[in-house]
Structure 1
Amino acid sequence: MAQNKALAFGGGTIIGALGGLIGLGGAEFRLPLLIGAFRFAALEAIILNKAMSLVVVASALPFRARTVPFSEIAAHWTIILNLLAGSLLGAWLGAGWATRLKSGNLYRVIAVLLVVIAAVLMFGHDARSGAPLLNGAAQAVAGIAAGFVIGVVASLLGVAGGELLIPTLVLLFGADIKLAGSLSLAVSLPTMLVGFTRYSRDQSFSVLGRNKTFLLVMATGSIVGTLIGGLLLGVVPSPFLLPALAAILVISAVKIWRHG
């Protein structure tokens, strides 16, 4: 048990640091850990993953505020609402589907999609240009559609959706990579809460009550990690973050493909 607690704390810290630095929930890395090392069943692992991602997302926002102030996030409220218009519905529907469907094929589709996004980020976009892909009504419609897909994926896989949200914010809306990380967290939090509420109707939700100590240990490690990541955000240069995100996307794709 002591070894499990050490692994839970250490894993939570490392994944939380990613969340604080990049603007992710870190769930793609946590899911293999929950299933492989801790032997949780798939749906139970997704629910636990969602709970831990909520902790990471909620704590990463304030820890990143020294570099990306809340006032700057609030100034882009239209982008947040645009994505939420699709993601909240997607999260509700996705959580319902996840309790009934086998999602092996979905894992593989998402894995391929992550690799494509990584390639576009690295070779098809100048992160310093800030030029949005679309404008006006076309951008709004694309934002709702993207939000819906991300909401579905976030609920089905138990993730925060940052791996898809950040590229969407950078490519579609022309956001700076550091701002995109915080905007992603602002969209992820309510999206995840909707999915989490939907999951609470399923009997597998009881896994949270049966593993309170495990949750507390991993949550503590996650908060320590997001603090570290938030501090690193102020010193890590922006040009490093885009390749780092692309690498995370590829690694996540491999893990998700194998899981599928």
Structure 2
Amino acid sequence: MTIQSTDRSTGAAEHRPAAAFTGGAVIGTLGGLIGLGGAEFRLPLLISVFRFAALEAVILNKAMSLVVVATALPFRAMSVPFDDVMANWPIILNLLAGSLLGAWLGAGWATRLRSETLYKVIAVLLVLIAIVLLFGHDATAGSPPFSGATLVVAGIAAGFVIGVVASLLGVAGGELLIPTLVLLFGADIKLAGSLSLAVSLPTMIVGFTRYSRDQSFSVLGRNKPFLLVMAAGSVVGTFIGGLLLGVVPSGLLLPLLAVILLVSAGKVWRH
């Protein structure tokens, strides 16, 4: 369980609070505009700009994502009441049956990968998320393609894959959960956003718990001020992005965000 990276971060002293807050706010705003926590954009920033090692960046990203997801549920409660979310508890439990195991295994795999390998895995996953943003985010609700036991098995399998990806990147997984909820379960897009948060929160806690067993988890203690400042910026940005929702046309925004992810993936690959 020892991390094999030697390019460890130099500590929060070199990470200026203003830059951390601004970066978090900008990324949170981008994420809020499309119903995400922004973690997929925050991760390349932590690696390329703030120079954290791959595994440390993933752990920091997951900690910030936990804060964003936990605050996003109350933010959305006025539009999607908690009663509506809990009325769909079978769907939540179905996805959790796979995502919790995937999160635990994904975090374990990340702690055992060589740093160079983890950078490349992160880069590939960023490319896949860019593709999902382009082709999956505008999915419209319809009748579920499966029913009964087949739907349950498909939900568990989808949850497992999402849990692995969420742990490897330190993200909430909404970019994958929302299309899954819409296409596999026929959920309304707004309801899918809140359901994805309900699935993400316990999934991320499981992955976070697994990461806590690795020595790289100490990055949180060494960089607590940086973590808190950037997480605060992310929450503010997510709130602003929610307010701006509908102002920026998705036809322009989604391709732009996908390009950002592709450029980030290239930088992480060559890191």
Name the structure 2 match of 1:59.
Answer: 71
Q: Secondary structure at the match of 1:87?
A: helix
Q: Does 1:150 align with 2:162?
A: yes
What is the one-letter code of the residue matched to 2:121? L
Name the structure 1 match of 2:118.
Answer: 103
What is the one-letter code of the residue matched to 1:90? G
Aligned residue runs from structure 1 range 33-52, under 5 A: 33-52=45-64
Name the structure 2 match of 1:74.
Answer: 86
Which of 172, 182, 196 is the equivalent residue of 1:170? 182
Which of 26, 29, 44 is the equivalent residue of 1:14? 26
Equivalents in 2 of 1:66, 1:161: separation in Å?
A: 22
Moved more, 75-84 or 5-14: 5-14
Mark the CA change 1:12 to 1:231 in structure 2 (over 3 Å): closer, same or farther: same
Cα offset for 1:16?
2.6
Q: Secondary structure at the match of 1:103?
A: helix
> Contact 2:24/2:234 (CA < 8 Å) preserved in 1?
yes
Cα root mean square deviation, aligned: 2.6
- Unaligned 5+ residue runs, structure 1? none
Q: Secondary structure at the match of 1:68?
A: coil
Which of 201, 206, 222 is the equivalent residue of 2:234? 222
Aligned residue runs from structure 1 range 134-149, under 5 A: 134-149=146-161
Equivalents in 1 of 2:26, 2:185: separation in Å?
A: 29
Q: CA offsets per residue over residues 131-190 of structure 1, 9 Å max, x none?
A: 223222221111100100111111111111111111111111111221111111111110
Cα offset for 1:130?
2.6
Equivalents in 1 of 2:60, 2:87: separation in Å?
A: 33
> Contact 2:127/2:265 (CA < 8 Å) preserved in 1?
no
Name the structure 2 match of 1:259.
Answer: 268
Which of 205, 220, 223 is the equivalent residue of 1:211? 223
Name the structure 1 match of 2:3.
Answer: none
> Contact 1:114/1:253 (CA < 8 Å) preserved in 2?
no
> Contact 1:115/1:249 (CA < 8 Å) preserved in 2?
yes
Name the structure 1 match of 2:128.
Answer: 113
- Unaligned 5+ residue runs, structure 2? 1-12
What is the one-letter code of the residue matched to 1:220? A
Name the structure 2 match of 1:198.
Answer: 210
TM-score when normalising by structure 1: 0.86
Equivalents in 1 of 2:153, 2:201: separation in Å?
A: 22
Cα offset for 1:126?
5.6
Mark the CA change 1:248 to 1:184 in structure 2 (over 3 Å): closer, same or farther: farther
> Contact 1:121/1:242 (CA < 8 Å) preserved in 2?
no
Cα offset for 1:74?
0.8
Equivalents in 2 of 1:10, 1:182: separation in Å?
A: 26
Equivalents in 2 of 1:56, 1:202: separation in Å?
A: 23
Cα offset for 1:31?
0.8
Cα offset for 1:223?
2.3
Q: CA offsets per residue over residues 78-128 of structure 1, 9 Å max, x none?
A: 111110000000000110110011235534553453355345437xx761x
What is the one-letter code of the residue matched to 1:42? A
Aligned residue runs from structure 1 range 180-199, under 5 A: 180-199=192-211
TM-score when normalising by structure 2: 0.83
> Contact 1:114/1:250 (CA < 8 Å) preserved in 2?
no
